[in-house]
Amino acid sequence: MTSQPLPGFRDFFPEEHASLRSIFSAWREASHRSGFREYEGPELESLELYTEKSGEEIVGQLYHFKDKGDREVALRPELTPTLARMVASRHRNYRKPIKWFSIPRLFRYERPQRGRHREHFQWNCDIVGEKGGVAEAELISTLCLGLSLLGLGPQDVVVKISDRGWWDAFLTHQGIEEGKKGEVLRILDKLEGAPQEEWQKKLGSLAEPVAQALTSKAIQSPGLNEVRQGVADLGYGNWCEVDLRVVRGLAYYTGVVFEVHDRAGKFRAVAGGGRYDHLLKKLGGEDLPATGFGMGDAVLSELLREKKLVRPVAARAEIFVVAETGERSLALQLAGMLRRAGHAVDYDPASGKWAKQLELAEARGARWALLVGREAAQGKLLVKELAARKQGQVSFRQDGGGEISLEWGVGDWAKVVA
Ligand code: HAM
């Protein structure tokens, strides 16, 4: 038996989990500020949901098996098919546009490497029922807000925007059949950053026109222009660049697509998304336009570490109750009362020497120690402000029903200590 998790899976010890929580809270805050409502779906879905909708790359990375009821099932590798399934089943209950977000844990059997694992958390924001580029502008500005809440700015990351619609027209012009376009786009997706010879090898006669198109300044895409205008109006114009090399690996995208990369180009994409107007219909739902993005925690954490922006949300006790032997019951009553009153309270379950208990209080990062000693018989408790090494006394009363009340509320303890 090993003490390590499976390859590509991560343990989050409390310190690491505190960093993860700070990422989640930025994601949630940005979603709420931008009017997205949170939802969640199941971790396990029918295999078919992905084999038909996600495209070859993800299907090759699925964790799938037969369940005990002989159903072919898969751990979710992405959330978009689940969202499309959920919206298709109940969209009449919701006014359009639907703006939803979620932070699922996803599973892909990839080769583990820096920023890539076999599970990751992914912030998803999606808008269903809006055709206009203002939807993508809304999504891009929301993800920029989320990144800025973590301390990142346009000097650190760039949102590269492209248009699959433009690629579609270009490939038609080049005489590529409809059924072959997906394959060409998948090849293009993999070629980012590859040397010229590789392009030639993989694209053959298409390499030349593609290279020309990519360097051309005269690209016409009304869709892109609308998105860029919206993003600029929302205040994030300087975060974005048009970059047609972004085509996205997933099969369902139909229009404007985008990816977030670190400016230095050291890491893989921090986020990716785009328009997928036909997915809902394919799932048997109404023909509703949709667009969205997913941002993973793994690459983002690498980037935050590099920029020294990791700010863990520490879960610390505010008050640590220290009890003399014999006063244990009163100490527990105080802890319970203070917790019910809204405070974060901890204590040493093995009540030993005061000094030992105070050591634990400091290790837990508590601001206050509330000491329950012999003076409790006279209705007195000792309060210590640990870091400031100050202390004072507070009185308490216990009514006939055992209810405890303090003479000074915790908010006033700073006035009590000297
Ligand atoms: P995706 O590009 O496959 O898109 O993933 C989005 C982001 O999730 C990536 O940019 C990356 O940060 C992170 N990610 C993906 N795979 C891994 C992995 N194995 N390890 C760590 N991080 C990873 C989608 O999944 C789309 N469903 C997003 C979307 C939502 N499109 C529309 N709505």
Please report, for the domain that includes residue 361, its CATH number.
3.40.50.800
Domain final residue pick, 306, 332, 357: 306
In a domain, 329, yes or no: yes
Distance (Å, whole) CA 334 – CA 326: 14
- Answer whether 270's CB lies under 8 Å from 157's CB: yes
Low-confidence ranges of the chain (pLDDT < 50): none
Q: Are 144 and 156 in contact (CB under 8 A)?
A: no
Q: Do 247 and 341 fall into the same domain?
A: no
Identify the domain boundary among 271, 306, 341.
306
Does residue 52 contact residue 67 with C-beta atoms inside 8 Å?
Answer: no
Question: Between the CA atoms of 19, 22, 28 and 32, what dihedral angle is there, to the nearest 10 degrees?
Answer: -170
User: Which residue has its alpha carbon closest to ligand 1 atom 2?
Assistant: 272
For tokens 């308490």, the residue is 396
The residues pairing with 392 across neighbouring beta strands, listed in sequence order, are 383
Task: Please tell me whether residues 191 and 336 are part of one structural domain.
Answer: no
Residue 2: both structure tokens together? 């090993």
Among the listed residues 161, 166, 169, the one whose alpha carbon sits nearest the alpha carbon of residue 136 = 161
> What is residue 179's predicted lDDT score, i.e. its pLDDT?
85
Q: How far apart are CA 78 and CA 61, in angstroms?
A: 11
What radius of gyration, in Å, describes the C-alpha atoms of the chain? 28
Domain annotation covers residue 191: yes
**Which ligand 1 atom minimizes the distance to the CA of 116?**
20
> Is residue 183 in some structural domain?
yes
Please name the residue that has the structure tokens 């050291």. 266
Q: Are residues 293 and 343 in the same domain?
A: no
Orientation of helix 14-33 relative to helix 297-306, angle to 10°: 110
394 lines ligand 1 (CB under 6 A): no
Q: State whether the beta carbon of 292 lies less than 6 angstroms from ligand 1.
A: yes
101 and 145 assigned to the same domain? yes
Q: How many whole angstroms from 89 Cα to the centroid of ligand 1?
A: 24
Instruction: Check if the beta carbon of residue 109 is closer than 8 Å to that of residue 63.
Output: yes
- Domain identity same for 232 and 195: yes
* Same-domain status, 131 and 261: yes
In a 3-state reduction of DSSP, which class is residue 232?
helix
272 Cβ below 6 A of ligand 1: yes
| Å from CA of 54 to ligand 1 middle | 12
Query: Cβ distance 404 to 396 under 8 Å?
Result: yes
Residue 47: both structure tokens together: 């295999």
> What does the pLDDT read at residue 251?
81
Q: Whose CA is nearest to atom 1 of ligand 1?
A: 272
Q: Does 27 map to a domain?
A: yes
Output the residue whose Cα is nearest ligand 1's atom 29. Answer: 293
* Binding site membership of 293 for ligand 1 (Cβ less than 6 Å): yes
Q: Are residues 146 and 220 in the same domain?
A: yes
Does 57 fall in a domain? no
Same domain membership, residue 328 and residue 251: no
Residue minimizing CA distance to atom 16 of ligand 1:
116
49 found inside a domain: no
CATH of the domain at 139: 3.30.930.10
Nearest residue (CA) to ligand 1, atom 13:
296
User: What is the tally of structural domains in the chain?
Assistant: 2
Domain boundary (284, 306, 328) is at 306
Kindly state whether residue 69 falls inside one of the protein's structural domains. Answer: no
Query: Are 251 and 334 part of one and the same domain?
Result: no
Atom of ligand 1 nearest to the CA of 79: 27
296 lines ligand 1 (CB under 6 A): yes
Ligand 1 atom index nearest CA of 259? 10
Does any ligand 1 atom lie closer than 6 A to the CB of residue 108?
A: yes
**Rounded to 5 degrees, what are φ and ψ at 408?**
-115, 125
Helix axes 222-233, 164-173, angle to 10 degrees: 160
Mutation to probe ligand 1, out of 31, 62, 78 (largest number of atoms < 8 A from CB): 78
User: Is residue 291 located within the same domain as residue 368?
Assistant: no
Please tell me whether residues 188 and 332 are part of one structural domain: no
Domain ranges, residue 191: 14-41+79-306
Q: Tell me if 66 is assigned to some domain.
A: no
CB of 346 within 6 A of ligand 1: the answer is no
Burial class of residue 91, CB neighbours in 10 A (0-12, 13-18, 19+): middle
Q: Is 297 in the pocket of ligand 1 (CB under 6 A)?
A: no
**CA 405, 406, 408, 410 torsion: positive or negative?**
negative
CA 297 to ligand 1 centroid distance, Å: 10
pLDDT at 219: 73
Same domain, 218 and 125: yes
